[in-house]
Chains A and B, each alone.
Chain A
Amino acid sequence: MNRQQAQDLIASILEIPHDGELQVTLNGVERLGTRFNDCAVSQNVLRQQATLTLGARLGQKKTSMTINALDAPDLIRQSVARVFETCRHMPDDEEVMPAPGQVLDSHEFAYSETAEAIEIETVGAWAAEACKAGAAAAIDLAGLLSVGKMFTAYGDSAGGFAHERHHRCDYHVTASGDHGSGWAEHQGVSIAAADVVTATERAIDKCARAQNPEVFEPRSTTVILEPQAVGDLMAMAFFYGFDQRARDEGRSAFSDNDRPLGRLSFYSDPADSAFPAVSFNGDGQPLAKSTWLDQGRLQQLTTSRYWASKQGIDVKPSPNNIILSGDGVPLEQLIAGTEDGILVTRFWYIRSTDAKTLGFTGMTRDGTYRIENGKLTHPVVDMRWNESVLRLLNNVAGSGAPVATGEFIAMAMPALRVEDFHFTSLSN
Chain B
Amino acid sequence: MFDLLKLACDKAAQAGCQFADARFLSIQKQRVVSRDHALSSCSDSEDRGFGVRVLCRGAWGFASSPTYTAAEIEKVVALALRIARASALAPRADGVKWAPEPALKLEYKSACRQDPFAVALEDKADLLIAANEVMLRNSAVMRAQGFLSFKRVQRWYANTEGAEMHSDVTSSESAIWAIAVGNGDFQERNWKAPATTQGFESYRKAEFLEQAERVADEAEQKLTAKLAPEGYFDIVTDSENLSLTIHESVGHATELDRVMGYEVSMAGSSFVSRDKMGEFRYGSDQVTLVADNTLENGLATQGFDDDGVPGQRWEIVRDGIFQTYSTGREFAHYIGEERSRGSCRADHWSSIPIVRIPNLFLMPGKAPLSPDELIADVRHGLYFEGMDSFSIDQWRLNFQFGGNAVWEIKNGRKAGMLKAALYQSRTPTFWNACDATCDASHWQAHGVTNCGKGDPMQIAQMTHGAAPTRFRNIRICRGRDS
Contact = CB atoms under 8 A, between A and B. Distances in A.
Interface of A: 31, 33-51, 62-69, 71, 79, 82-83, 86, 89-95, 120-121, 123-125, 127-128, 131-132, 140, 142-144, 146, 172-174, 176, 181, 183, 249-252, 255-256, 348-357, 359, 361-363, 365, 382, 384, 386, 388, 391, 424-428
Contacts, number: 250
Contacts of B35: 93, 95
Interface stretch (B58-66, B296-304, B320-328, B461-469): B58-66
Interface stretch (B82-90, B156-164, B192-200): B82-90
A44 B60 contact: yes
B42 A365 contact: no
A124 B181 contact: no
Contacts of B314: none
Interface of B: 35, 38-49, 59-67, 79, 82-84, 86-93, 120-122, 125, 129, 142-143, 179, 181, 184-186, 188, 261-266, 268, 271, 350-352, 389-395, 397-398, 400, 402, 420, 422, 424, 455-456, 475, 477-481
Nearest to A132: B90
A378 to B, nearest CB: 20
B82 A250 contact: no
Contacts of B82: 120-121
B398 A427 contact: yes
Task: Report which residue of B35, B83, B92 has the largest number of chain A beta carbons within 10 angstroms of its beta carbon.
Answer: B83
Nearest to A185: B265
B92 A40 contact: yes
Nearest to B475: A425
A61 B262 CA distance: 47
B391 A90 contact: no
Given A352-B389, A361-B391, A44 B83 contact: yes
Contacts of A391: 481
Contact of A91 (B46, B59, B84, B129): B129
A351 B90 contact: no
Contact of A123 (B60, B86, B181, B475): B86
A169 B31 CA distance: 31
Given A46-B63, A47-B64, A67-B47, A350 B391 contact: yes
A354 B480 contact: yes
A33 B455 CA distance: 9
A180 to B, nearest CB: 12
A250 B266 CA distance: 36
A37 B261 contact: yes
A172 B265 contact: yes
For the complex of A and B, list the 5 residue pairs with the smallest distance between their C-beta atoms, beginning with the closest. Answer: A353-B479, A124-B86, A128-B89, A93-B38, A66-B45
B393 A365 contact: yes
A351 B452 CA distance: 14
A88 to B, nearest CB: 9
B84 A427 contact: no
A142 B84 contact: no
A84 to B, nearest CB: 12
Given A47-B64, A140-B264, A363-B398, A63 B42 contact: yes
Contact of A144 (B40, B45, B402, B455): B455
B64 A66 contact: no
A93 B39 contact: yes
Nearest to A251: B186
B179 A49 contact: no
18 contacts: A37-B264, A42-B92, A43-B62, A44-B61, A49-B66, A83-B44, A120-B82, A124-B86, A124-B87, A142-B261, A142-B264, A144-B266, A249-B142, A250-B181, A348-B268, A352-B479, A357-B480, A365-B394
Given A63-B43, A66-B43, A428-B393, A91 B89 contact: no
Contacts of A174: 264-265
Max chain A Cβ within 10 angstroms of own Cβ: one of B65, B82, B188: B82
A310 B188 CA distance: 25
Contacts of A348: 268, 393-394
A51 B456 CA distance: 18
A38 B259 CA distance: 12
Contacts of B479: 352-354, 359, 361, 386
A35 B143 CA distance: 43
A359 B120 CA distance: 41
Contacts of A354: 420, 479-480
A196 to B, nearest CB: 13
A142 B87 CA distance: 14
Nearest to B93: A40
Contact of B456 (A146, A350, A359, A426): A146
Contacts of A63: 41-44
A91 B186 contact: no
A273 B29 CA distance: 38
A68 B263 CA distance: 30
Contacts of A353: 389, 402, 420, 422, 479-480
A205 B262 CA distance: 21
Given A40-B91, A427-B393, A384 B424 contact: yes
B53 to A, nearest CB: 9
Contacts of B481: 357, 359, 388, 391
Contacts of B90: 36, 39-41, 124, 127-128, 131-132
Contacts of B89: 41, 124-125, 127-128
Nearest to A125: B89
Nearest to B44: A65
A428 B271 contact: yes
A428 B396 CA distance: 9
A174 B261 CA distance: 11
B185 A361 contact: no
A48 B52 CA distance: 13
Given A353-B422, A428-B271, A48 B64 contact: yes
Given A359-B479, A361-B479, A41 B91 contact: yes
Given A92-B38, A249-B143, 9 more contacts: A37-B261, A46-B79, A50-B66, A65-B43, A86-B44, A89-B120, A124-B89, A363-B392, A363-B393
A44 B265 contact: no
Given A64-B41, A428-B397, A251 B86 contact: no
Contacts of A68: 46-49, 66
B274 to A, nearest CB: 15
Nearest to A31: B456
B456 A144 contact: yes
Most chain B beta carbons < 10 A, residue from A132, A361, A391? A361
B120 A363 contact: no
A173 B264 CA distance: 9
